[in-house]
Amino acid sequence: MSVRPALICVVDDDDGVRQALDNLLTSADYIPLCFDSGEACLSYARLGDIDFAVVDIKLGGMSGFELQASLNALNLNLPLVFISGHADQAMEQLALRAGAIALLHKPIDVDRLLALIEQTLSGRDGA
């Protein structure tokens, strides 16, 4: 019986960012699951199957922070990295206080993102 690749949720309202992350995660042998809004993500029937989330802070509709709070309210407590093209130090501190692993600035340092995913998931497997 083989272990399934990790399911990585991507939430960003920018089509280009979603496509780039989809390609990156696929090439790294993850299964990307992409949504254009927090609401679309929350409507996914199998949220409990998601292993990690990459979420834009500024979305149309609910914000990335609101999405994270909703996921936490469902007791999902997903490991999560926020991304933003407009982040400052105050927003970075807010993201970390909210429980995010990191806030990555766009354009995203893909090597750092993949390292954060790998470190987090390998830590969970060993727990």
Contacts 24+ apart (CB under 8 A), 16-23: 17/56, 17/83, 17/106, 17/108, 21/54, 21/108
CATH code for position 87: 3.40.50.2300
CA atoms within 13 A on the CB side of 78: 27
Report the C-alpha gap between 85 and 105 in whole angstroms: 6
- pLDDT confidence tier of residue 6, bands split at 50, 70 and 90: very high
Give a yes or no: residue 12 inside a domain.
yes
pTM reported for the whole predicted model? 0.94
- Over residues 92-107, the pLDDT tens digits come to 999 999 999 999 999 9
- Over residues 40-60, the pLDDT tens digits come to 999 999 999 999 999 999 999
- pLDDT confidence tier of residue 125, bands split at 50, 70 and 90: low
Give a yes or no: residue 101 inside a domain.
yes
Determine the residue type at 46.
R
Report the C-alpha gap between 70 and 72 in whole angstroms: 5
- The domain tally of the chain equals 1
Whole domain around residue 83: which residue ranges? 7-121
Give a yes or no: residue 90 inside a domain.
yes
